[in-house]
Structure 1
Amino acid sequence: MEDILRPIYQERASQANTLGVLMIEKTEKALSITDTFDAVLLIIVEHADEQVFVKHYTYGSKKAALHIVTKKQINDWILMGSNRKIFEWLYSGKVLFDRNEYIQQLKHELKEFPFKGRKLKMGIEFAKLIRRYTDGKTLFDNQNYFDAYNHVVHSLHHLARLTIIENGFHPEVTVWNQVRQMEPEIMKLYEELVQSHEPLEKRLELLFLASEFLIHSRTRLGANHLLDILADKEVWTIQDIIQHDELKYYSVDLSILLEYLIDKNIIAIENVKTKGKGIEHRYYKVVKKI
């Protein structure tokens, strides 16, 4: 397949903007990694008008995909975990071109997983966990058990991902295979939720009780990144928090995480008078480092 695709990637490799080229070939055990294409060419570039540009090709009975992706987009995918295939592509892809050992260094960083990157990823996963758990609990309390079940499954998934990151690894496509070795207790919870013959209401009730303890025990790790940043100033407006270069990655889950930490007396609210009668600005400050 490489010989067939060579004319496509050689032209790109000669351009100064190109940092690296990888080829990922389809295997019977992991068809989804290439979206069933026989091969995927991943070309990483320094800059481009579009963060991601995709082309599809056919050659006889075979099909191939070309993905031209900026360095920034690759970093965002790795940070956010929003494209889990990228880990497989980087881990198992054949390097066809590597300018100044960019891909080799990227693979090394993935393997080493620097602690600063881990802290941010743990914060993002913890915020998603709190969102799913809170929404699921609300639905459960309103007796919407099937919708609550959906949120609980997702909350366990985020808890599993958080555990993997805590252990110094990137969550991959097969998250539960990773968790089975690292945290059997979470795996057991997941199995009880999806395999138990107890009524759904009873399964959810027991799981909420167990999850509350597991979430509480990970609050220090999960909130550490956010609290470190908020400790830099005495008080913050919500707009200041949202616009912070690192906190913007928390996206829509940031407010629910703040409310959770307020409820735990880790973050406090400071009210400041406005010109409007009876209306006050709501500011936030760290009261307890954990």
Structure 2
Amino acid sequence: MEDILRPIYQERASDPNTLGVLTIGKIQYSIPTTDTFDTILLMIVKEAEQPIFVKHYSYESKKAALYIVTEKKLNNWILLGSNKRIFDWLYNGKIVFDRNEYVAKLKEEMKEFPFYGRKIKMGLEFAKLIRRYMDGKAFFENHHYLDAYNHVIHSLHHLARLSIIENGFHPEVTVWNQVKQMEPEIYKLYVELVNSDETMEKRLELLFLASEFLIHSRTKVGINHLLEVLGEREFWTFNDMLSHEELVEYSVDLSILLEYLIERGYIDVKNVETKGQGVFHRCYFVAKKLS
């Protein structure tokens, strides 16, 4: 297989822009991290016109996919966890080209999982968790139980990912297998939600009670990064936050996260006068008891 596909990446590997190349083979009956392809070729480059370029090939009644990914895009995937397969590809892929041990060093760094990187990832997962939890609760209170169930399932998934990161690991494709070992309490909650014989309403009611405690117990670790950044200024407008390079990734989840933290006393609001009579700019700052 490797001999047949080598010409695809060999010419590009000689380009100084190429940092590394890995091959990932499909394992029979395994989790489909290769998207049904027999082989994935992952090529990491410094720069490119497109952050992701994909090409599909056929060989010996089989199929392969070439992914050319920029270093910036790869780091974005690792930080945000937006491409869960990338961890499997990097952990289990075979390195066929590695300029100055770039891939080897990247894999080592991923295993060590620097604490600051963990703080950012935990913050992003916590924001997604609060978004799903709050939306699910609103649907539940309006008796839209199936919609509530959908959001609660997602909120538990983010809670599971948060707990894995808190334990110093990257969430992989098989998240629940990881959580079963690390946080059996969350795993049990998920299983009970899915398998319980109770009515949907009763299942959700019990889960919201249990989730409230689990979320509360992880709030401080989940918002550590956000409060650290907000502590850099006396107060912030919402647009200031969205413009900050470390907060921009919170995006659509930031507004509801702020309201959640205001209700629980982690963030305070400052009203700043505008030219309009009785209209104020709403600004935010870390509560004094926490600063």
TM-score range, shorter chain: over 0.9
Query: What is the rounded CA distance, in whole Å, between the counterparts of 1:159 and 1:34 in structure 2?
Result: 26
Query: What is the rounded CA distance, in whole Å, between the counterparts of 1:40 and 1:185 in structure 2?
Result: 36
Aligned to 2:70: 70
Aligned to 1:90: 90
Aligned to 1:289: 290
Query: What is the rounded CA distance, in whole Å, between the counterparts of 2:71 and 2:217 in structure 1?
Result: 36
Stretches of structure 2 lacking an aligned partner (at least 5 in a row):
none
1:201 paired to 2:201: yes
Aligned to 1:236: 236
Structure 1 residue 243: deviation in Å? 0.9
Deviation digits for residues 217-276 of structure 1, max 9, x if unmatched? 101000000000000110001111011111111121111111111111110000011001
TM-score, length-scaled by structure 2:
0.98
Deviation digits for residues 153-189 of structure 1, max 9, x if unmatched? 0000000000000000000001111111111111111
- CA RMSD, Structure 1 to Structure 2 (Å): 0.9
Aligned to 1:143: 143
Secondary structure in 2 matching 1:32: coil
Secondary structure in 2 matching 1:218: helix
Query: What is the rounded CA distance, in whole Å, between the counterparts of 1:121 and 1:30 in structure 2?
Result: 27
User: For the structure 1 residues 226 and 58, does the alpha-carbon distance in structure 2 shift closer, same or farther, using more than 3 Å as the test?
Assistant: same
Secondary structure in 1 matching 2:290: coil
Letter in 1 for 2:96: L
Secondary structure in 1 matching 2:207: helix
Structure 1 residue 69: deviation in Å? 0.2
Secondary structure in 2 matching 1:55: strand
Secondary structure in 1 matching 2:261: helix
Query: What is the rounded CA distance, in whole Å, between the counterparts of 2:244 and 2:98 in structure 1?
Result: 33
Secondary structure in 2 matching 1:107: helix
Moved over 4 A (4+): none
Query: What is the rounded CA distance, in whole Å, between the counterparts of 1:109 and 1:256 in structure 2?
Result: 33
What is the identity percentage for the equivalent residue pairs of Structure 1 and Structure 2?
69
Aligned to 1:102: 102
Structure 1 residue 30: deviation in Å? 2.4
Alignment of structure 1 residues 123-162 onto 2, 5 Å: 123-162=123-162
Deviation digits for residues 44-68 of structure 1, max 9, x if unmatched? 0000010000000111301111000
Letter in 1 for 2:104: Q
Structure 1 residue 31: deviation in Å? 5.5
Query: What is the rounded CA distance, in whole Å, between the counterparts of 2:184 and 2:146 in structure 1?
Result: 25
1:18 paired to 2:54: no
Aligned to 1:168: 168
Structure 1 residue 29: deviation in Å? 2.8
Query: What is the rounded CA distance, in whole Å, between the counterparts of 2:29 and 2:262 in structure 1?
Result: 46
TM-score, length-scaled by structure 1:
0.99
Secondary structure in 2 matching 1:168: coil
1:245 paired to 2:242: no
Query: What is the rounded CA distance, in whole Å, between the counterparts of 1:178 and 1:32 in structure 2?
Result: 17
Deviation digits for residues 178-231 of structure 1, max 9, x if unmatched? 111111111111111000000110000000001001101101000000000000
Structure 1 residue 100: deviation in Å? 0.7
How many residues end up aligned between the 2 structures? 290
Secondary structure in 1 matching 2:198: coil
Letter in 2 for 1:41: L
